[in-house]
Amino acid sequence: MKVRLKDIILKNPVIPASGTCGFGVEMSEWMDLNILGAISIKGTTREARQGNARPRIAECGATGMLNAVGLQNPGVEEVVRHEIPELRRLYDGPIIANVSGFSIEEYAYVCERIDKETDATILEVNISCPNVHNGGMAFGTSPEAAAEVTGAVKAATRKPVFMKLSPNVTDITSIARACVDAGADGLCLINTVLGMRIDIRHRKPVLANRYGGYSGPGVLPIALRMVNQVSKACPGTPIIGCGGVSSEEDVIEMMMAGASAVEIGAAGLRNPKACQTIIEALPRAMKELKIEHLEDIIGIVNNE
């Protein structure tokens, strides 16, 4: 079940997605963290953020949920001083530090601080958050802006940089290629799809932010399509696939589309042991499908 992200070996491809597992330590109540392939911690900005006004979560039945949390986090200094060291005390695998910003300078600063002060393994640079104003997704909707952020971050860190891309664009492949051309070591996609729910009794949006990011099983076909498109457009670039994955079969499907590893998000919010359940079920699914090594199936549909 081992997979690789550049030169980093994961014992399996399953990663709790950023924003759905706190800073990782919170999950230790439900499972031994060391069963996980890696952990992507909560998004970090330069300054502490309280996030958006409440309500900021809206359920969407069996298909998923909307969130407009707004990057609530304690700021990079607290993450460097406390959060990552606390996680490392319990977890010996790869730590993926998710970084967000409201300017190119902020992205570079946060990445440099995490690079110098922690043993985080990978930097996952979020240019795709759809529910904060004047930041996040603003950098992920044009190839030029995405490339500029990538170049600035690569100049600020020695760690592998994976750019997290937005599905809320016309052509995700042009943005992916721009990031790779600017030096990205890998890509992560997709982030949530911009959506909305309305309270018909009170005749107003459910979310205080009006719009939020839609995640859950309903976005899986979109994520698979985009992962496959990017894997063909950027051959040889490792991809962390995410979006609607909630079972071992979904993990295999995402890898067949072109992902080297897979993040589990909304499923983990519904069931905190979802990652463990999927990891434990993967060997059986591999046996049924006659898969000897998971790496053998990465992008296999592109061979047809």
Instruction: Write the CATH number for 108.
Output: 3.20.20.70
Q: What is the pLDDT of residue 134?
A: 54
What residue numbers bound the domain in which 157 lies?
Answer: 3-44+71-190+216-303
Q: Is residue 195 part of a domain?
A: no
233, with CB counted inside 10 A (0-12, 13-18, 19+), is: middle
pLDDT reported for residue 136: 55
Residue 56 lies in a domain: no
Computed on alpha carbons and rounded to an integer, the radius of gyration of the chain in Å comes to 18
- Residue 27 tokens, joined: 């999950």
Position 288 in a domain: yes
Does 179 participate in catalysis according to the annotation?
no
pLDDT of the residue at 304? 72
Alpha-carbon distance 275 to 253, whole Å? Answer: 16
Asked, for residue 173, whether it belongs to a domain, the answer is yes
Q: Where are the alpha helices (DSSP H) in the chain?
A: 76-78, 84-90, 104-117, 143-156, 172-181, 220-233, 248-257, 266-270, 274-288
Neighbouring residues of 135: CB distance < 8 A, sequence distance ≥ 6? 100, 101, 102, 103, 129
Residue 125 three-state SS: strand
Domains: count for the chain: 1
**Residues with pLDDT less than 70, the chain:** 130-137
Residue 208: inside a domain: no
What does the alpha-carbon distance between residue 271 and residue 277 come to, in Å, rounded to a whole number?
10
At residue 99, the pLDDT reads 97
Q: 129, 234, 242, 275: which is the annotated catalytic residue?
A: 129
Of the CA atoms within 13 Å of residue 109, those in its CB half-sphere come to 13
> Is 65 within the bounds of a domain?
no
**Predicted pLDDT of residue 303:** 87
Is 281 within a domain?
Answer: yes
- Find out whether 298 and 255 touch, Cβ atoms under 8 Å: yes
Q: Which of 88, 91, 137, 89 is nearest to 114 (CA)?
A: 88
Cis peptide before 190 (omega within 30 of 0): yes
- Domain-located, residue 81: yes
